[in-house]
Structure 1
Amino acid sequence: MPEPHEDKRPLAERIAAEIRKLIMSGDWEPGRKVPTNEELRTQFKTSNVTIQRALQILKDEKFLEGQAGVGVFVRSERAQTIQPAHFIAPSEPGQPYRWLAEATKRGQRSKYKMLEVGEVVPPVEVARAMGLGEGGTAVLRSRIGFLDDQPAELVHSYYPVELARGTRLADRRLIPGGSPALLKEMGYPTRSQDDAVAARPATTEEYEALEIPRDVPVIEVFRIVYSDNDKPIEVTILTKPAHRFKMGYHIEL
């Protein structure tokens, strides 16, 4: 039989992982005072130096906040669950993109900043999803979404050239109502979408754009949006900082 897989990470990293899970799950509520070093040292049967290292990891990752002379506390905001299904349907005429509208409902300030728009040779997985041949191009729209002035998601959306060229999809400006509303207006209503969700280390682009602390991973959503006759009309690679967000799905059977 294979030998058990042993956790060989330094003890401080393992302790940080245990505490991180308590914070992400909500067992340790926002604003809660962290047990004293002595209490943690006794709980984890280790030295005070190791506990300090574990707490520093979590401070660097923005999970804990130190208050001089008072103590260490769980960050003031809990991890936010985002429901991707809320953003599938196009906005009503004259209404903002649903991602922005949902943020307003939650009492958050939201905005998008455009980074790049143009025709590119997309990544292999995007080309495959769009049915492109070797060297085939697509229209790329890259942007960052902010919630309460903090970067919340980095979005790279690709569109078929024959569909997007010469339209607002190829314009650097933001699209009123978002791309779903424009695509519907163009005769390509959203009928379904496939999402593949993964967690991985951040690239340099993601690390800088999303202001990732330390070695916090990102949540990646690889999304294919289909119109009539299962035609792919948009392929998006969306990444979010995993220390601040969870992905939520409601499925009725």
Structure 2
Amino acid sequence: MPEAHEDNRPLIERIAADIRKKIMSGDWEPGRKAPTNDELQRLYGTTNVTIQKALRILKAERFLEGRAGVGVYVRNERPQTITPAHYIEPAAAGQSYRWLTEASKRQQRGKYRMLEVAEVTPPVEVARAMRLEAGGTAVLRSRIGFLNDQPAELVHSYYPIELARGTRLADRRLIPGGSPALLEEMGYPTRSQDDEVAARPATTEEYVALELPGDVPILEIFRVVYSDDERPIEVTVIAKPAHRFKMGYHIELP
């Protein structure tokens, strides 16, 4: 029989992970005062020095904040649930991209900043999803999405070159109504969407663009959008800070 797998991480990291879970799950409500160091010492059976080091990690990651002379408090922000189904349908004529209108419904200010628009050789997994031949190119649109002026997502969207070249998809400006509305106008309506979600450490690009605090992971959403005849018309890779966002799905059975 193989030996049982054990958590051999330093106690500081294990305590930080446990408290992090309490905050993400809502067991420690936003804005509440954290237990005192004495209480945490008793809870985890360790020393004040160890507790202080664990709290220091969580402060660096902005899960906790210290208030001089008052104590340590849980951040005020609740983790926000992302619901991909809210964004799949193109915006109506004259309306903003659904990501922005959904932000408004939550009383948030949403905006995008374009980073790059170029013809590129996409990563292997993107090329495979787009059914490109070896060495094939695509139009890349890269941007950062902000909610209340905080970076919320780094987005790299790829489009078939024969579909995008010479259109607004190859223009550096933002697209009124977003790419789903434009693609529908071009005769490529969205028919379905596949999402794959993973969690991993951030790259340097993601760390800088999303202004990540500490060594927090990111949520990666790998999205393929299909039009008629299951033709892939967009492949998007989205990186979101995992300490601020969760993925949510609603499924109804027939």
Cα deviation code 1:124-156 (max 9, x no counterpart): 000000111111000000000000000000000
Q: Does 1:9 align with 2:9?
A: yes
Shift of 1:8: 1.1
Comparing 6-15 and 90-99, the one that deviates more: 6-15
C-alpha RMSD over aligned residues? 0.4
Name the count of aligned residue pairs: 253
Please give the per-residue CA displacement for 1:109-138, whole angstroms capped at 9, x wherever unaligned: 110000000100000000000111111000
1:169 and 2:159 aligned = no
Corresponding residue number in structure 1 for 2:211: 211
Q: CA deviation at 1:47?
A: 0.5
For residue 23 of structure 2, give the secondary structure of its aligned residue in structure 1: helix
Shift of 1:203: 0.2
Q: Displacement of 1:214 after TM fit? A: 1.0
Please, which runs of 5 or more residues in structure 2 have no aligned partner? none
Partner of 1:236: 236
Deviations 1:154-191 (A, max 9, x none): 00000000000000000000000000000000000000
Equivalent residue of 2:18, what SS?
A: helix
How is 1:46-125 mapped onto 2 (pairs within 5 angstroms)? 46-125=46-125
In structure 2, distance between residues paired with 1:184 and 1:5: 51
- C-alpha offsets along residues 57-86 of structure 1, whole Å, 9 cap, x if unaligned? 000000001100000000011101111110
Q: Partner amino acid for 1:23?
A: I
State the Cα deviation string for residues 77-100 of structure 1 (Å, max 9, x = none).
110111111000000000000000
Secondary structure at the counterpart of residue 175 of structure 2: coil
Q: Which amino acid aligns with 2:103?
A: A
Per the TM alignment, residue 13 of structure 1 is displaced from its structure 2 partner at its CA by: 0.6
- State how far apart, in whole Å, the 1-side matches of 2:85 and 2:215 are: 29
1: CA distance, partners of 2:165 / 2:140: 11
AA aligned opposite 1:112: Y
Residue identity opposite 1:119 in structure 2: E
Separation in structure 2 between the aligned mates of residue 60 and residue 168 of structure 1, nearest angstrom: 41
Identity %: 78
Q: d(CA) in 2 for partners of 1:65 and 1:48? A: 18
Render the CA deviation track for 1:22-41: whole Å, top value 9, x for unaligned: 00001110011000000000
TM-score w.r.t. length of structure 2: 0.99
4+ residue segments displaced more than 3 Å: none
- Counterpart AA for 1:235: V
Is residue 23 of structure 1 aligned with residue 23 of structure 2? yes
Report how far residue 5 of structure 1 moved. Answer: 1.0
Query: Which residue does 2:180 correspond to in 1?
Result: 180
Q: Secondary structure at the match of 1:23?
A: helix
Distance in 2 between the 1:91 and 1:238 partners?
Answer: 20
Structure 1: which amino acid aligns with 2:222?
F
One-letter code aligned to 2:146: F
How many angstroms apart in 1 are the aligned matches of 2:189 and 2:134?
A: 28
DSSP 3-state at the match of 1:206: helix
Question: CA separation in 1, counterparts of 2:3 and 2:32?
Answer: 39
TM-fit CA distance, 1:4 = 1.0
